[in-house]
Every structure is written in structure tokens, then in C-alpha cells.
Structure 1
Amino acid sequence: MRNKLVAGVAAVLVGFSTQSLAKVTEAEAARLDKDLTPLGAERAGNASGTIPAWTGGLKTPPGNWKAGDVEVNPYPDDQPMFVINGDNTDLYRDKLTDGHLKLLQEYAPDFYMPVYETRRSAAFPDRIYRKTRENALTAELLDNGNGVRNTIATSPFPIPENGLEVIWNHILRYRGEEVSFRSASATPMTDGSFNPVVNQYDYFIAYSKQGAELEEIDNKIFYLKTDTISPPSIAGTITLVHETLDQIRSPRLAWRYDSGSRRLRRSPNLAYETDLPNSSSMRSVDQKDMYNGAPNQYDWTLKGKREIYVPYNAYQLHDESVRPDDVIRPRHINQELTRYELHRVWVVEATVRTGISHIYSRRVFYVDEDSWQILVSEEYDNAGNLWRVSEAHNISYYSEPVFWTTMEMTYDLKAQRYYVDGLSDGFPAYDFSPGFRSKEFSASAARRAARR
């Protein structure tokens, strides 16, 4: 009996060790030059030909785009191959998420999904491909998966073995070294009326800086400063975030400057299920960027891969001529401006851990194999009912080759309202080389900026 018990414990420890170390062999890593893409996706297309092979992504900007311009549509002649609506969902059910099925059923006939030819456009710098392979050989999950070690620049686990590795691939995916942009968010009423909130976003992504070494970045993934521009009632509000890699050794640091009190204060609760500021309680903080922060409140299960219709190549939503009034409609955005394509995605299910309280008891994430970007997520309430559905509409940017969101939204099925972020009102193109320095993102620097 004792020998059996020891053997059982040993087996459990071996299994945990395998999950924790998560390194791959040189032979496995060699697949990133063969049947897998440099980021770990299947290089080949699918058997039916509806998903093409990956041939490098969108490596060259269209000829009618120049540096400093907002990205233009590289596929201007593409037209929808078909449209999925509330009447024909049974024809496509096997390639739809539960969230999209619900939206198609409950928001018919106005919510529909125009499906276009699949374009595997995601492309990244060559140095990111090299770092991905290096990470595959060295990266390790920390105990309980609350951080990663021996990784730098980009996603650590191109050949994932579990759900935690996939979610860390999303959290640490390459989004450039620094970026500055302006966008508006809104929470439209059921009749479609809205009051936009305009924010300036400045990122310094220490983890991804060229030449960065793990021991030099002070356990930081990125620094983020947001400055509210309008409406006047909250203009001047500043939020500063230091996002950490090992979130047990040093949890996220956050400060908020309220223009009313004229004081910069620590914000220890700017995480997990806390309401995302200016979202009318329709989105939690950990839903920003589809998922962010320490994953320690959930148990993560990798459900495998699926071929599903997902938002992709959203250049119509990104177009510099599109204004908030063109996008916002009652209950959901203007689906005429959307584009869905058939892609392979990793499916990850998160269930809240015993003893943990969170507004979402279960979450399902659909993660793009070509970029590690979460494209769609479903959020369930504590009674097990589907409550919210989130989408990330993405493009390949040109001035810095990254595949990243241009617009995100969360649909609240109970309130019949939604939150949307990424609206443009003639704002400039994303600037991926603003020339920031890390010291500009200190609390004292934010305090000085707020007082000017």
C-alpha cells in the first residue's frame, strides 16, 4: 500500500514538473522551420482548402500607403462569400462559437456575420521569430502558472501543452516595443445614443525592447499611461500601470490621478473583476486586451483546436474615414463594417478556482494560431449562464509588423447593451516609435505631467 501511494505521488509530481518546465527539445523546436510557422501555427492549410497555407503573412504594405498614414485595406476587392444570419445558423453551427450563435439568435436580424476569404495576414519581425524559437527551448511556467521565467520579447510557448501556456502566449505576444495612439470608447444606450470617452494611450513595452535582457527589465512586461482627453467632466484623469512578469514576486502596480482631487493615488484594486473605468460596469479590468493580469483565479484547460469564423483583417472598421456614428448601432456595432474569416484557433476554458470569487464563473477563449491574439471570448455568470460575449477586431499594422486589435467590444446579453473601445474620430495613425524612455512612466513623472 505504501509503495503504491509513493508511486502515485511520484506520478503526480512528474506530471506537475512536466507542465511547469514546459521546455521543448531541439527536435521539437525544429518544427518551427518545418510543419509549423515560426510562432507555432500549422503551416499548411486545411484539407478542404478553405484555410490556406501560411506563406509569411502580410509582409509588404499596399502601394497606396505611406509611412505616417492610417493603414489602408490591403484587400479592397474582397467581397463577402456569404453572410451568416439568424435564419441560416444551422448550416454553419459547427464553425461558430456559442457566443456568436447566441448573438445571431437574440439580435436577429440586425446582427449578422459577413464571411470573407481567409487571409493569413499575421506577420512579425524576423527577430521575433528567432526569439520565439529561443523561448521554446528555455521558457518555464512559475509555480501555479502565475508567471513565466527564461523568456523575453514575445510569446514563450510556441508549442503549448496546456491552457496556461496558451494564455501566457497571448499576454506576452509581440505588440511592438512602444506605441502611442488615441482612441475613444463608448457604452451606447439601448437606443444607440452614446457619449464617447477619448483617451491617449502610451505604452513602453520593456519586455519586447530590442536587446532587452530578462535581468534588466525589473520584472516588467510593459508600462502604460492613459490620459483622458474628453469629456470635460473627467478630462485630465491619468492612469499609470506597471505590468509585471512574475506576478507573485511583484503584483501589478497602478496609480490613478483624479483631476477633481488633483492627487495621484495608488490603485491596488485595478485588477481582476474590478469594473473597467468608463465601461458602465459592462467590462471587468481583466477583460482589457481580451484578457490580462495574473491567471491565478482560474483553472485553465486546453480544449484543443477548432476551425471557426472569427473577426479578422478589420480594415473597414479601421478606415480613417469611419467615425463613431458609423460604427455604433443599438445593441451591437454596425456589422456591415465587420469582416469574419475561417481560422484555426486554440480553445481554452477557464473555470474559477474553489474559494475564489469572480463575476465570471467560466470563460472560454478562442486564440488565433497565427498571432496568439484572443479573437473571441465568452463570459458566464455564477449560475452558469452565458452573460457576455467579447470580440477583438484586428489588423496587421504596417509601420511595425504586428497583428493587433483596432477595436474591441463586449456584448452584455442581459443588459442588451455593449462596451466598445477603439473608435476613431479622425485620430492619427498609431505611432510605434514615439521615442519613450522608461523613466517617463514613473509615478513622479505622472504626477508632474498631471500638474502641468
Structure 2
Amino acid sequence: MRKKILLLTCASMLLIGGSVVNGWAEATPEEIARLGNDLTPFGAEKAGNGDGTIPAWQGGITTPPAGYEVGMHHIDPYSDDKIIATITAENMDQYADKLTAGHKALLKAYPTFKMNIYPTHRSASAPQRIYDATRRIAQNAKMISGGNGLENVGEGTPFPIPDNGLEIVWNHLTRWRGNSLDRHYHNVPVTRSGKYVLGEHTELFDIRYSHPGMDDSKLNNIIYYYKSEDQAPARISGTISLVHETLDQNKEPRKAWSYNPGQRRVRRAPQIAFDTPTGGGDGLETMDSLDLFNGSPERYDWKLVGKKEMYVPYNAYRIMSPDISYKELLTPLHPLTDTLRYELHRVWVVEGTLKEGTSHIYKRRTFYVDEDSWSLVGADLYDTRDNLWRISEGHTINFYEVPAVWNIAEIHYDLQAGRYMADKLTNEIETMWKFNVEFARDEFSPQALRRGGKR
């Protein structure tokens, strides 16, 4: 029988009797009936917490703020909020039970790092059809291929009432982010002294999994199509990458191609996966740390630690403000902390441990997944000696014109090098991301990659 959720009031922890790989179970009709009642349509606890520091979910942001027009930088709907606490190295013990291991390490390592805590807003929302699809697929969605694929899914969140850590990872991989996206942004590796070279990129996504009416019969084993082109720095300018992300990666692993402007050739690129360094990332990001985690989960055993109240990046509208230049934002060791917003939210804590016989530069990864959106908002990454090495933050906003929750910035800290990567920045981008774009039928074909390539 499916193991039930056991609520523990101490330490605000919700522990799960998670299923093992051979013990996966489908949600029962009784569990599904909770969606939209005591649980949100995505399976989060609708109620607030006992002391009122986390409010009840009331639908999230359902309309854009007055004055917003598509294409603008997003207006901060919470700009009048005041800081309710500031966590520093001196007072962090007072908040220790609500801090990730990564944030504790940053506070200890960098005296200038601080965390400004703001009132919690449960702003996450999605279209009604995505909620309806989640309810529709929840009873029959299942993992296949040893957990490296899904079936009986499409549009919605497959496991809104998760029973193990791998289900939560799949919820993140298939979460609602809109139907498609055309985005232009900067990524910036910053040295210990604060010097940097600006990277510039354009990305196109066609997220087929989320298209209206999608199911196994129509997906053709594709979650999304992805294409990126590098404009800067000069050494990678003109490089184009193409990915077909598959739903059952045992049946058909991720397919990837790359166009090299120097060779003027398109080649298959199986290296666009796992721990290959990203182009322009200066060694601070791996391919599977983009979006804090993407791709096949096959190299790790995933353990569900539980659900906990934690201070995490959220409603990060200020970090992408066009009023803040990169020169101001990108200070040594970490971004300007007065641009960073942290709130108290309930997150699922999942730990991935590298399987025997596989390889990766990260022996262990701890993920913090927002209960309201299934978006990864934090990750602690450990080296082969089990030392905390890197820390990733997903600074999310509600793109309320869609609506959908996604990272507007990703910060990847390297504790050992004293460096960090600020990714997906748009402060000095004139036009914001375009969602639900119509693409030509062959936009994501290798042939189109070849046609689009130029020296």
C-alpha cells in the first residue's frame, strides 16, 4: 500500500515513508480528491503554518500589476515590503533550523554576505488547464525504465502527492513553464576580486510536454526542444546548440547537436549533458546544473529527506531591475546582497547520491524544491570527498503574463575558488523574454541548425 504522509510538528518537518525503486505506487482516488481542497492543485499544503509566517495559498498572482505590458521588465508587486529580519554570520545560529547547509556556509565564508528576509507571498500560479491536467494524470502517471522515464503523462505535474525523491525530481523536470519561450540574457562568471567578462546568449524553448492536449501518444517521447546561440564572449560567439530532451531516456537518451562556427559543421554532441562544463561558464556550471537540475536523473539514487520550512530565494523581482547595473550588482564573492530577497517557504528536501559504477564531479546533491511550483530554488553540491563545494540559488518570480514560476536569475557559488556565476541576467537587456511563441515546424531540426550557422 502507498505509504501515507506523517506530519511531525517538531522542526516543521514532514517526513515521508518513501517508496524504494521497486515499490512505486500510483496516487489513490482519495489522495487525488485532496487536490484543490486541503492541497493546492499542484499538491502543496494550502494552509499556512501555525505561527502565520507562511500564509495560506489563495491562488497566487492571477493578473499582472497595473501598468505592466508584455515585453517590459516585470514590475515588482511587492516593492513596498519591508525587511523583517537580516541574517548574518553573527546571528545565523538563531535561524539555523531554517537555513540550508549552503547558506550557512556562505554566511561563514563571506563576512559581507547577508540574507534579507521579507514577508512570505505565495505568488505561484498556473493556468486552470494545467491544474486540470495535473488532476487528470495523477492517478495513472508512473515511472518506467527503472525511474529514467515516465508514461501516462502530459501537460500537468505527474506526481502532485509524491511518494519518493525521484518523483519530486520528475515534477521539477516536467513542471509548468509556459508552452514556449524566446529569451535573451547575460551570464557572468565573476572572479574573487569582482572582475568579469559578460556572456550573452539567446535561447529558444518549445516545451511540448505542456502544450494543450498533450499525452504519450502525441509527445513522441519529447519533453521539450531547445536551441541556444552564443553571442559573447568572442571565443564562443556563433556556437549554436540543439537539444531534444526525451521523456524515456532509456528508450532514447537526450539527443544533442552543436554547430561550430570555426569548422562550419554540425555534429552530434552527446557531451551536452551531466557534468560537462557549460560554454561561457568558466568551469563554474555543469550542463545538468542549468535550471539547477536538468536532464536524466539516472546517475543518482534519490532520497526524500522530507519537507521543511526554509529561507529561500523567492519573488526576486529586484535582482533583475533595469535600475541596477551589472557594475552595481556584481560585487566580489557574491551579488549585491541588497538586491537579493529571501522568504520563508515550505520546500521538499531531496538528496541525490552518486550510484556505484557511475561518474560525476558531484558525489552528492541536496535539492530544495518549492512546494507551490515544483521549481528548484536551491542546491547544495558536494565533491568526491563529501565536502560542500558549490551552492546554487534559483531566484524565481511569477511571470504573471503567462502565468508561470521560473528563475529570473541563477547564482552558482564556488566556495573553494571564491568565485560565482550569475546566470540568466536581464538587467541590461532591453526586451524581456517572450512566452508562448509560435515556432516554425523545423526550427529545432539539425538542418535548421546548419542553416542558422554563420562564421
TM-score, normalising length from structure 2? 0.94
Secondary structure of 1:305's aligned partner: strand
C-alpha contact 1:204 1:438 (8 A) present in aligned 2? no
C-alpha separation between the residues in 2 aligned to 1:437 and 1:177?
14
After TM superposition, the structure 1 = structure 2 runs for residues 282-321 of structure 1, keeping only pairs within 5 Å, are 282-321=284-323
- Does 1:122 pair with 2:124? yes
Secondary structure of 2:291's aligned partner: coil
C-alpha separation between the residues in 2 aligned to 1:16 and 1:263?
42
C-alpha contact 1:323 1:426 (8 A) present in aligned 2? no
Secondary structure of 2:327's aligned partner: helix
Partner residue, 1:150 = 152
CA shift at 1:17, angstroms? 4.9
C-alpha contact 2:233 2:280 (8 A) present in aligned 1? no
Please list every run of 5 or more consecutive structure 2 residues that lacks an aligned counterpart in the other structure: 1-18
C-alpha contact 2:145 2:250 (8 A) present in aligned 1? no
Mean Cα deviation higher: 34-43 or 349-358: 349-358
C-alpha separation between the residues in 1 aligned to 2:405 and 2:367?
18
Secondary structure of 1:428's aligned partner: coil
- Does 1:209 pair with 2:214? no
Return the match for 1:51 from 46, 54, 74.
Answer: 54
After TM superposition, the structure 1 = structure 2 runs for residues 371-450 of structure 1, keeping only pairs within 5 Å, are 371-424=373-426, 425-450=428-453
Q: Could you tell me which amino acid in structure 2 is paired with residue 164 of structure 1?
A: L
Partner residue, 2:40 = 37
C-alpha contact 1:183 1:427 (8 A) present in aligned 2? no
C-alpha separation between the residues in 1 aligned to 2:26 and 2:328?
47
- Does 1:253 pair with 2:251? no
C-alpha separation between the residues in 2 aligned to 1:191 and 1:39?
43
CA shift at 1:129, angstroms? 0.3
Please list every run of 5 or more consecutive structure 1 residues that lacks an aligned counterpart in the other structure: 1-13
C-alpha separation between the residues in 1 aligned to 2:39 and 2:304?
19
More helix by share: 1
Mean Cα deviation higher: 206-215 or 160-169: 206-215
Secondary structure of 2:416's aligned partner: coil
Partner residue, 1:272 = 274
After superposition, the C-alpha distances for 1:358-386 in whole angstroms (9 at most, x for unaligned) are 11111100000000001010000111100
CA shift at 1:438, angstroms? 4.2
C-alpha separation between the residues in 2 aligned to 1:40 and 1:103?
32
- Does 1:77 pair with 2:49? no
Runs (4+) of structure 1 exceeding 6 A deviation are none
Question: Equivalent pairs: percent with the same residue?
Answer: 44
Q: Could you tell me which amino acid in structure 1 is paired with residue 398 of structure 2?
A: S
After superposition, the C-alpha distances for 1:330-351 in whole angstroms (9 at most, x for unaligned) are 1111111010000000000000
Partner residue, 1:64 = 67
Secondary structure of 1:242's aligned partner: strand
CA shift at 1:16, angstroms? 5.0
Partner residue, 1:322 = 324
In 2 relative to 1, CA 224–15 (structure 1 residues): closer, same or farther, beyond 3 Å? closer
CA shift at 1:270, angstroms? 1.2
C-alpha separation between the residues in 2 aligned to 1:371 and 1:66?
24
Q: Could you tell me which amino acid in structure 2 is paired with residue 434 of structure 1?
A: V
- Does 1:223 pair with 2:211? no
Mean Cα deviation higher: 338-347 or 271-280: 271-280
C-alpha separation between the residues in 2 aligned to 1:137 and 1:438?
33
C-alpha separation between the residues in 1 aligned to 2:20 and 2:114?
44
C-alpha separation between the residues in 2 aligned to 1:294 and 1:444?
25
Secondary structure of 1:128's aligned partner: helix
After TM superposition, the structure 1 = structure 2 runs for residues 100-179 of structure 1, keeping only pairs within 5 Å, are 100-108=103-111, 110-179=112-181
Secondary structure of 2:130's aligned partner: helix
C-alpha contact 2:312 2:342 (8 A) present in aligned 1? yes
Aligned CA-pair RMSD: 1.3
C-alpha contact 2:153 2:215 (8 A) present in aligned 1? no
C-alpha contact 1:198 1:229 (8 A) present in aligned 2? yes
C-alpha separation between the residues in 1 aligned to 2:206 and 2:302?
29
Secondary structure of 1:167's aligned partner: helix
CA shift at 1:234, angstroms? 2.4
- Does 1:349 pair with 2:351? yes
